[in-house]
Chains A and B, each alone.
Chain A
Amino acid sequence: MNTHKKQGFWHRFFFSLDHKDIGFQYMLTIFVMVAIGGFFAYVFRMHLAFPDMKVPLFGLVTNKDYNMLITNHGLIMMMWLALGMLLAVAGNFLIPIMIGTDDMAFPKLNKISYWFFLISVILMIASFFMPKGGLGGGWTLYPPLSTGDFGYNTPYKGFADRFFTANTFVLLAIVFEFTSLLMGGINFFVTTLNKRAKGMSLFKMPVVVWMINIASVLFMFSVGPLVAGTFMLLLDINVGTGFYDAYRGGDPLLWEHLFWFFGHPEVYVILLPPLGILAEIISNNSRKPLFGYKFIIKMTLLAGILSMMVWAHHQFVAGINPKAATVFSILTIIISLPFAGIILAYIATLWYGKIRFTLPMKWALGAITLFTLLGGFTGLHLGASVFDIYAHDTSFVVAHFHYTLFPTVIFGTYAAMYFWFNKFTGRHLNKTLGNIHFWLTFIFFNGFAFPLFLLGLAGQHRRIADYRQFEFLMQDPLPLYRHIATISAVILILTQFIFIFNFFWSLKKGKRVESNNPWDSNTLEWQTSSPPPHGNFETYPVVHHGPYEYNMPGKDKDFTPQNEA
């Protein structure tokens, strides 16, 4: 089983079949995408706060540039960072080793999934360099905005004229990425159901494994219609069909329905894996069993089903039936209940725990605080159509989804990195740099996103390149808020370089782990060597305990490894 040998660079990063190597490949690819997405955010935030300024490293931002920057920032962060990091990376690193098996059920399929992901990244980056420039139709790709220069009545001037455009490339990139994640999802699902260690029943699996699997299945069912829809949009652009062309009986609203039928479950696809990661970290660092394990799983399943029925709350002003809006409002508000239940279970886990304020715990608590207090709570407001119609497409919405996505995607990922880095590399991340990174990120994320709430309530619309044309948006203190938001955003982005440095420095020179289980954790990945060999375990573990049996009475230590007889 242990066939560990030194691998060359090409072998490790292109042809490896090992789930940890493939996870690492995904992670490095996503780092590149995040760097691009973050750079775009920096440029357009600078432009919004200081119009007419030549943004360092970019130059003057024209209106067309601005459209392109916000569109691609959204696409990259949602599709490649969030989905990629939390399904592909988390799933690859965690699932096989946490359920106590040697690798994925289909290692070759896993490798092919990564290659599809790589193709999608290349297509996405190539789209910036098309003759007519990057895509500028908003990340939601609503037609006819996403058909770009090819409004439906533009004469057809040959295939190449339309194929070599950002529109086509972005849509192709999305199709490839979905295919990659679908193949990955099948792999996760089969691995989890079929390859669990002996004795590990479904309800002895760590919550994060449950969460990634539920997210994968949710992704599979919600993305199907959009895959068909993306092909239809590609045909509209390249061949000249009229699926979304009102002149020919098509309906632009159809795309909105397809997109949000995927897009709303997608935010739960993104949310569930971090919630699982938080469950691991909070239970481990409170030294207490996770409160309501089965309750959490049931609430998650309920939320998964409900999430397929709330999509139209993104379209309250798009011309849907007002009666339908009431139904979708009510369903949207109902869906907060299962998540409130999950968060309460986490808080109950903290209750009377022996809390250790380790770095991953700080990220986890930060994520819960921000996500619940500001992200989830403003979601309730926006879910009600009466308020949404007022706040729609303003910075309030931008602030809301940054407060939901940033704590889960970014904080959740960092929590996982600071928690599991030492397992997969055998070295610790530097603690001092980690603390600086956490506090700066926490403070300046709020500094960036909170003013957007105030700006949004004052009526500042998103997707407007220059606010000077609106007098009421230039009154005090609104420009000040914009300056605070922008400066905080820039510091926030710069702060992330601390992490990048810490990551690569610790990879080579970090402090070696003193034991295989530095967090005194129960789950199976901590019961093998750090870094785990190819094949993960010397002998297949046999599971006797649940994953969260901390501080059990009658034990001499406060944790009980799952494979302890």
Chain B
Amino acid sequence: MNTTVSKKITWRDIPQARLAVWTLIAGEFAIFGGLIVMYILNRIKYESWGEMAQHTNVIAGTVNTFVLLTSSYFVVKAHEAAVYRNKAKIKMWIWLTILCALIFLGIKTYEYSHEIMHGFTLPGKHLLAEGKNVDTMYWGFYYTMTGLHGLHVVAGALALFFVMRGVTKTGENYHRIEAAGLYWHMVDIIWIFLFPLIYLIH
């Protein structure tokens, strides 16, 4: 290859799928960004939410953070396998990623059921009866933010599954692994923001 010729990089050199996923991620950040800003503003306003945050399961949240971070590593390995056109390895790494997604959702379900059992439900009758009107909104944000994030986990896992199936069946479109992987990293990063905001600040 002639390395002396330097080529100016243009928009057209960026693969379509990557550009589209980056644009999608920008849009998703606008959605979650809005939600997070609203949460932070309310959090500053109501100090009693710190007490509510102590009722979240920090250990489960930490394990979940670890699980998601690990899954991001697996997706990177899948991308590497896609670069070398190695179908067997793509399959293995993507299945591991999806396994992580399922573990994440399982732990999340356990957390939800635990919190619901302790009376932290959405209309929050139990809290309203105690006169803690303001605190019901903490749980509103808790369920909305983690729930919306959970939907993205499901969507990301489904995307990875279908992309993997398509790639391994046809042996084409290896670049789609990268695109789905990018989306998966976004799901991961959003959790990195949600975890300290919801679980750790007391």
Residues of A that sit less than 8 Å from B by CB: 105-106, 156, 182, 185-187, 189-190, 193-196, 202, 220-229, 231-232, 235, 239-243, 247-250, 254, 258
B113 within 8 A of partner (CB): no
B136 and A241 form a contact (CB under 8 A): yes
A240: chain B residues at CB < 8 Å are 122-123
Chain B min CB distance to A79 (Å):
18
Say whether B30 contacts A224, CB under 8 Å: yes
- CB of B14 within 8 Å of the partner chain: yes
Contacting residue for A193 out of B19, B26, B45, CB 8 A = B19
A226–B45 alpha-carbon span in the complex (Å): 21
Q: How far is the CB of B79 from chain A (nearest CB, A)?
A: 20
Contact A242 B137 (CB under 8 A): yes
Top 6 A-B residue pairs of the complex, sorted by shortest distance between their CB atoms = A224-B30, A225-B34, A249-B134, A240-B123, A241-B140, A193-B11
User: Are A243 and B16 within 8 A (Cβ)?
Assistant: no
CA A235 – CA B142 in complex, angstroms? 13
Give complex CA distance A312, B33 in Å.
19
- A247 in contact with B14 given A186-B20, A240-B122 (CB within 8 Å): no
CA A195 – CA B128 in complex, angstroms? 57
The docked-state distance in angstroms from the alpha carbon of A106 to that of B20 is 9
User: Count of chain B residues with Cβ under 8 Å from any Cβ of A?
Assistant: 36
Distance (Å) between the CB of B38 and the closest chain A CB? 7
Chain A residues with Cβ under 8 A from B42's Cβ?
Answer: 249
Q: Given that A241-B140, A248-B137, A249-B133 are known contacts, is A231 also in contact with B148, CB under 8 Å in the complex?
A: yes
Q: B123 contacts which chain A residues (CB < 8 A)?
A: 156, 239-241
Q: Across the interface, do B12 and A258 meet the contact criterion of CB distance under 8 Å?
A: no
What distance in Å separates the Cβ of B100 from its nearest Cβ neighbour in chain A? 26
Asked if B30 and A220 make an inter-chain contact with CB atoms under 8 angstroms apart, the answer reads yes
Query: Residues 122-141 of chain B: 1 if any A CB is under 8 Å from the residue's CB, otherwise 0?
Result: 11000010000111110011
Q: Name 7 interchain pairs, CB-CB below 8 A, sorted by A.
A: A105-B16, A194-B16, A225-B30, A227-B31, A228-B31, A232-B144, A249-B137
- The distance from the CB of A422 to the nearest CB of chain B, in whole angstroms, is 32
- How many residue pairs between the two chains, A and B, have CB atoms under 8 Å in the bound complex? 110
Q: Which residue of A lies closest to B127 (CB)?
A: A248
Interface string of B9-47 (1 = CB under 8 A from A): 001101010011001101111111111011000100110
B144: chain A residues at CB < 8 Å are 228, 231-232, 235, 241
Q: How far is the CB of B25 from chain A (nearest CB, A)?
A: 10
A220 touches B137 (CB 8 A): no
Given A224-B34, A248-B137; A239-B122 close (CB under 8 Å): yes
Interface of A is mostly: helix
Distance between Cα atoms of A324 and B37 in the complex (Å)? 19
Residues in B140-187 with C-beta less than 8 Å from chain A: 140-141, 143-144, 148
Least CB distance, A316 to chain B, in whole angstroms? 21
Given A228-B148, A248-B136, A250-B137; 7 other pairs, CB 8 A cutoff: A193-B11, A220-B23, A225-B34, A225-B37, A231-B144, A248-B137, A249-B42
Complex: how many Å from CA A106 to CA B15? 12
Rounded to whole Å, the gap between the CB of A185 and the closest CB of chain B is 8
Chain A residue with Cβ nearest B14? A194
Contact B38 A254 (CB under 8 A): yes
CB atoms of B23 and A258 under 8 A apart: no
A227 surroundings in chain B (CB, below 8 A): 31, 34
Partner of A249, one of B33, B46, B122: B46
Q: Give the CA-CA distance A415 to B149 in the complex, in Å.
A: 44
* Docked-complex contact B34 and A229, CB < 8 angstroms: yes
Q: A residues within 8 A CB of B34?
A: 224-229, 258
Q: Which residue of A lies closest to B123 (CB)?
A: A240
Asked whether A243 lies within 8 Å of B140 as measured between CB atoms, the reply is: yes
Q: Which of A106, A185, A221, A241 has most chain B Cβ within 10 Å?
A: A241
Name the CB-closest residue of B to A182.
Answer: B27
Question: In the complex the two chains form, what is the Cα distance from A223 to B26 in whole Å?
Answer: 12
A201 (CB) vs chain B CBs: closest residue: B10
**B23 A190 Cβ-Cβ under 8 A:** yes
Residues of B within 8 A of A235 (CB): 122, 140, 144
Residue of B nearest to A222 (CB): B30
> How far apart sit A310 and B58, CA to CA, in the bound complex (Å)?
40
> What B residues does A193 contact at CB under 8 A?
11-12, 14, 19
With contacts A196-B12, A231-B144, A254-B38 known, is A220 near B26, CB below 8 A? yes
C-alpha gap A202/B12 in the complex (Å): 11
